[in-house]
Amino acid sequence: MAAPLKDADLVSVQQARDLAARAREAQRELAGFTQEQVDRIVEALAAAVGREAERLARLAHQETGFGNVADKTRKTLFASVELAESLRGLRTVGVLREDPQLGLVEMAEPMGVVAAIIPCTNPTSTAAFKAIISIKARNACVLSPHPAARESILETARVMREAAVGAGLPADALSCMDAVTLEGTQELMRCRSTSVILATGGIGLVRAAYASGKPAYGVGPGNVPVYLDRSADVPRAVRDVVAGKTFDHGTLCSSEQALVCDAPVEAQALEQLKRNGAWLLDEREAAAVAQVVVTPQRLANPDIVGRSAVFIAEKAGLRVPPETRVLVARLTGVGREHPLSIEKLCPVLAFYVVRDWREGLERCRELLRFGGTGHSAGIHAGDETLIREFARAQPAFRIVANTQTSMGATGATTHLAPSMSLGCGAWAGNITSDNITPLHLLHLKRLAFPRRVAGAAPAPAREVAATLAVAAADEPGLDFVAAAEVEKALREGRKLRLRPGAIVTPSARDAAAGSDVLVPASR
């Protein structure tokens, strides 16, 4: 008999293989579910997380020390209850689109098993988000937690799995590794049973996902600049910037990193920053904060990520009022010589002054190119022409106007697709520039009929199914049946006779369930 595994890395690798293999078998069953079954599971899962959102957020905060309970609760509700609400009515099963003029039918097919890598900065919200979008597309999902947030992610997974299985999900279609090592995560990403990877984490993790040989959705760093124009409602704009920058102590990659201020409104902006809990650092204080916040490699110091402004000030040897929400440092340039111009993931905000909107646009471009290409940028202005010019000029794929970028880029305060994974496009080495949704986790199968012969008389106007060569009821039998034809036959009380090998779309089978509308041609 083989000796039991003792090394943590070997145990983790074996667990990754086992969970992925079982998930593959469960997904084959899940692939046959109807839209109604899938939606029932998603609703049950989201509701369960919603009920436990505060407890899970508290657990995450206690385990990691990042952020605060109130904002983590808000994120978890957004990534569960609000996400599920936004997905209601979205079809991910059967026929998604039919074009009778072109003779095309598009059908949804799940990818298979999703390897979902969960970070420590947003553990409960990202776990819920990735599980929901995976299952909505009829994929199985295996979660791999960051070691620093292992317990809170495991508990989130337990809550989700219990509710989902109770609603009909195959038990192994949602699981979470508890033997967590780097080697185990790498094996999950590259093992035979895994189909696609959702990677959220540092640059090293995202590169490992791309190197795994599997399709992967990774994300890039943020370093989000925000331009404040003289035409803006300055009090509202500053209130939004501070709210976004301090949300969960800056742990979102879409949080504001630099405020680029038009010179005519500089004094007003500084006054509003003070009113909203900012401490304006002098040159000596800014240098001390930079020593604490940024490593010599010009990366964010993990010891201050997601910590409060007061905590960071104390680490820098400064005394600030206890109500301080954000530390603001004046900068004059971008790059390695200006360490606070990087993405900081904490409530420290760079502040620039520019002469006009042209200089403001260029400063924002510099900041994005230094560490946030393809991600997000913000603008506060009353001039819509300027807003559009700003959007056109920035090397970012999400331009958020007149609201905070932190939750605006995720879709919480805008009509962008709700998401906790924000693609940065080929500019940043990502496969997509989209907010990731269930539609990114399914394939489209296309059924195509011949083009109309040139010069032939046009076919008479018919319903979709008839246009796609579905024969009339008095013909010997049908080669193809879509949902529209089944629904019509049910209304008219007649049967549809099928020839051997006839294609019946999944949505047509759903429409025919419980009836005898579909019969062999011989009857």
Residues known to be catalytic: 253
DSSP annotation of 302: T
Please give the torsion angle defined by the CA atoms of residues 303, 309, 311 and 315, in that order, rounded to the nearest 10 degrees. Answer: 70
- What are residue 104's phi and psi, to 5 degrees? -125, 140
Helix or strand holding residue 257 (H, E)? strand 256-262
Distance, CA of 31 to CA of 25 (rounded, Å): 10
Distance, CA of 357 to CA of 229 (rounded, Å): 7
Mode of pairing for the β-strands spanning 174-176 and 216-217: unpaired
Q: Which two tokens stand for residue 147?
A: 């070691």
Please, what is the end-to-end C-alpha distance for the chain in angstroms?
60
Nearest C-alpha neighbor of 497 from the set 516, 515, 523: 523
Other residues' Cβ atoms within 10 Å of the Cβ of residue 350: 24
CA distance to 24, 144, 157, 396, per residue, from 177 (Å): 15, 5, 10, 34
Nearest C-alpha neighbor of 428 from the set 474, 473, 388, 397: 397
Residues for the chain: how many in total?
523
Report the DSSP beta bridge partners of residue 122: none
Q: Are 403 and 259 in contact (CB under 8 A)?
A: no
Residue 165, class by beta-carbon neighbours within 10 Å (0-12 exposed, 13-18 middle, 19+ buried)?
A: middle
Nearest C-alpha neighbor of 84 from the set 463, 481, 438, 482: 438
Nearest C-alpha neighbor of 135 from the set 159, 117, 111: 111
Distance, CA of 194 to CA of 206 (rounded, Å): 16
Angle at 288 between CA 286 and CA 291, to 5 degrees: 110
Longest dimension (CA), the chain: 90
The Cβ-side half-sphere exposure at 312, using a 13 Å CA radius, reads 38
Distance, CA of 425 to CA of 440 (rounded, Å): 14
Q: Which two tokens stand for residue 304?
A: 């201050």
Residues with Cβ within 8 Å of residue 302, at least 6 apart in sequence: none
